[in-house]
Chains A and B, each alone.
Chain A
Amino acid sequence: MAKSDDLAQIIDGCKAGSAEDFSQLVDIYTSRVHGYFYRLTGNSELSEELLSELFFKLVGKIGSYKGGSFDSWLFKIATNIFHDYLRSKQRRKKLLEVKKRQLESKITEAKRSESARIDKLQIQIGKLNDDTRELIMLRFYSQLSLKEVAKIRREPIGTTLSKLHRGLKRLRELMG
């Protein structure tokens, strides 16, 4: 992870329209944001699409970043992009098809060693309700504090804490 001074310099460069600085921003955040999208959609193709959309949007939005936690700001945009994605009927249909295919190929996939480990978690995550899944993934991939997560979700910190605890406990049980 970039130090805050380095990150501030990179962000300034991005604001000035430097493609090189944007490239660095991509390097810093791609893995985490992709992981976040992947765990929410369960599909590589879709998560890559959302990731591209995020960075594309960032070019236009970076000027509106006025300081504070950049991670929080970035994951707020990522969350909005995911919500927009859910709202899109076409994409929702696509997601349902993906989920259907996932369930159908669940047994086949489970036989693959490395991917089986990944898919086991993905399958269990799929059993959580949408809100809980989103909360757990936001907390894990954004690396934000509970206070920041609660702020993004526009809910009291006690609610976020309680939901997260219940969700994580449930995930532990599912994973056996």
Chain B
Amino acid sequence: MNARNEENLKALFERFVSTEEAESNIEDFIKAERILEEYPAPEPNEELITAINSKIEEAIRLRKEHTFRRFAYKLAPVAAVFVVLAVVSVRMLKEGSGPVDLVRGPMIARDVWDSDNVAADDRNLAVFTTELDELEVEFATLESGDDGGNGRSAVTELEMDFAEINTDIWEG
């Protein structure tokens, strides 16, 4: 009787009763437990032990199966995600299309921005500005009716010139 032999019954009893009473109580304990030892319970037969061991083996087998199944169920969604990713990756590689970069289109003609010759550009701008000033003067004259009676066609001509200059500026 291991664990209980280590305990000090006397000290335990003495926490609640007198020393004399504690000794008497311990004697009651010892004598009563001796009776239990004298009348042992029947031992289980070997067949029962064999049956228990078989039952345990079966329980272990079922438990291992259950553990594996649970693991498989947990793993399945993760595996599915990997499969989908793999399929998508293979398709993308086959088609040679990587991720698409967004390209922003220029609002102004590319040639204007691409020009590195600032001096030439400045000269062109000066010429265009002078031409525009002259055309504006002519336009004002015509608008005022001093064109010699052919004002309408002259205005159309001027508008066409304006449009041409405008196009030239933005196309570089």
Q: Chain A residues near B40: list those with CB within 8 A.
A: 35, 118
Which of A18-26, A84-92, A93-101, A102-110 touches B?
A: A18-26
A8 to chain B, nearest CB (A): 15
CB <8 Å contact, B32 and A118: no
The 27 sampled A-B contact pairs (Cβ below 8 Å) are A17-B64, A19-B53, A26-B52, A30-B49, A38-B41, A39-B41, A44-B42, A48-B48, A55-B55, A55-B56, A58-B56, A60-B59, A71-B3, A118-B42, A120-B39, A121-B36, A143-B2, A144-B3, A161-B13, A161-B16, A162-B16, A165-B25, A165-B28, A168-B28, A169-B32, A172-B31, A172-B32
CB <8 Å contact, A35 and B41: yes
CB <8 Å contact, A140 and B36: yes
CB <8 Å contact, A23 and B53: yes
3 interchain residue pairs of minimum CB distance: A168-B32, A35-B41, A121-B39
Roughly how many angstroms separate A35 CA and B41 CA in the complex, as a whole number? 5
CB <8 Å contact, B41 and A147: no
Chain A positions within 8 Å of B, measured between CB atoms, are: 1, 17, 19, 22-23, 26-27, 30-31, 34-35, 38-39, 44, 47-48, 51-52, 55-56, 58-60, 69, 71, 117-118, 120-121, 136, 139-140, 143-148, 157-158, 161-162, 164-165, 168-169, 171-172, 175
Other A-B contacts than A58-B56, A136-B36, A146-B9, 12 sampled, CB-CB below 8 A, are: A19-B60, A34-B41, A34-B44, A44-B42, A48-B44, A121-B39, A145-B7, A158-B16, A162-B16, A165-B29, A168-B32, A169-B32
CB <8 Å contact, B35 and A121: yes
Q: Within 8 Å of chain A (Cβ to Cβ): is B81?
A: no
A47 to chain B, nearest CB (A): 8
Q: Chain B residues near A19: list those with CB within 8 A.
A: 53, 56-57, 60
CB <8 Å contact, A145 and B32: no
B47 to chain A, nearest CB (A): 10
B80 to chain A, nearest CB (A): 29
Roughly how many angstroms separate A158 CA and B12 CA in the complex, as a whole number? 8
Q: Chain B residues near A51: list those with CB within 8 A.
A: 44, 48, 52
Q: Within 8 Å of chain A (Cβ to Cβ): is B75?
A: no
A162 to chain B, nearest CB (A): 7
CB <8 Å contact, B48 and A23: no
A144 to chain B, nearest CB (A): 6
A151 to chain B, nearest CB (A): 12
Q: Within 8 Å of chain A (Cβ to Cβ): is B102?
A: no
Q: Chain B residues near A117: list those with CB within 8 A.
A: 38-39
Q: Within 8 Å of chain A (Cβ to Cβ): is B93?
A: no
A58 closest partner in B (C-beta): B56
- Known pairs A161-B16, A168-B29, A175-B35; A17 contacts B7 (CB<8 A): no
Q: Within 8 Å of chain A (Cβ to Cβ): is B51?
A: yes
Roughly how many angstroms separate A117 CA and B13 CA in the complex, as a whole number? 32
Most buried by A among B6, B9, B32, B60: B32
Roughly how many angstroms separate A169 CA and B63 CA in the complex, as a whole number? 46
